[in-house]
Amino acid sequence: MNEDLKRKNKRNNLIILIIGVLIVIGVVGGFGIHNHRVASQAAAEKYARTHFNPNVKIDGVKVGKLTVAKATAKVNKKAKNHVQLRNEKLVYSYNTTVPAIDEAETKAFFKKQQTKTPSDQAYNFTTKNLAVAKKKLNALKKAELTYKINGKNYQLKAKDLLNDVSYQDNKYRFGDTSKLTEKLTQIDKEVSTLHKSYEFTVPVGNKVKGKTITVENKTWGWGVYVKKARRLILQAFADGKTTFDGTDAIYGVGYSTYAHGYGKSNHEIGNTYAVVSLKKQEVWLVRKGKLVAHLDDVVTGTMEGSKGDQTPRGVWYIHYKESPSTLRGTNDDGSSYASPVKYWMPFTLSGCGFHDASWRTDWSKKAYLRGGSHGCVNVKPSEIRKVWNNISKNEPVIIYE
């Protein structure tokens, strides 16, 4: 009996010992596992403080598990940081001359995605410069304006006229503007009055409205200053304007490059002008629609011989008025001349104009055929003030056969 009891006690003690050992092992193991978890947690938190989460992109470039410095370098090396508007679409490319991002912006993105420990949440950040460029180019793609000129309206849409546009350094950069140039050139052909022919009623005798003839603008008139218009319209598109005043980009030719006649009545001649008839050798001066002077014995450029001496036909304008003046030029035989005059009113760059001719003795109606001037309109000294007093700078001069 005692032996059995002893064996039983020994067995129980052994079981207790084993259980105790297992408990000790469990406790020690538990502490080890806990310490490992704590260490792993600390390591993960430390890693997350300096590295991007695994599923992060900047401008489409994967920067997961990279530091700010390495992410910045990778984005600058691989990001398509340049966007252009081409054929109504945004096209992305890599621009080696301009960094896509700096460390300050990368740090800002890092803070936005940062978690206590690494996270699988996906982020796709867009750099500020690229985001602004996309916004600006999308706005430009929708831009359109009304080009108003001489009573006509032309609708201009940026998407139809601009083929290569980028946005950089806070401003648009326009590449291919050939379509816009073509459009403005077309508009110029439609509205320009330079070298255009039209019917005009000239005086006869003492009547302002005499007969209707066909005249052609020479230096009189205006056209679209295409280069300037293109620059201003590009700026208007950039500024989001919806209308463009065409008069901001028109020009003239001759002594003055300002537009002549724009907006005037009477085929843009207005109601104040001078008329010269070569065949009749007469001059009419009209002011505010009324005939104020009529000279019926002037002498114009010599018709026979050198064509360079003929008074040019067409519609011109007075360049300036000068009193007194000395007219200088070359005779047909090559000799030079210098002729003093009291009143000088030129209307061509070649040197034709109104002036008194004290040296002239032949004032007959046929004097101009063989013995006329070098192209000027000679006026008797006794009548020159009628011209001088009734004509002003930039006023039209109509010369016809």
Which amino acid is present at 128? K
Q: How far is the C-alpha of 174 from the C-alpha of 104, rounded, in Å?
A: 30
Catalytic residue among 51, 260, 355, 374: 355
Residues composing the chain: 401
Catalytic residue among 82, 260, 319, 376: 376
Residue 101 makes CB contacts below 8 A (sequence gap 6+) with: 58, 59, 72, 75, 76, 79, 81, 127
- The question of whether 376 is a catalytic residue gets the answer yes
Q: How far is the C-alpha of 240 from the C-alpha of 243, rounded, in Å?
A: 9
- The question of whether 260 is a catalytic residue gets the answer no
Q: How far is the C-alpha of 252 from the C-alpha of 319, rounded, in Å?
A: 12
Catalytic residues: 355, 376
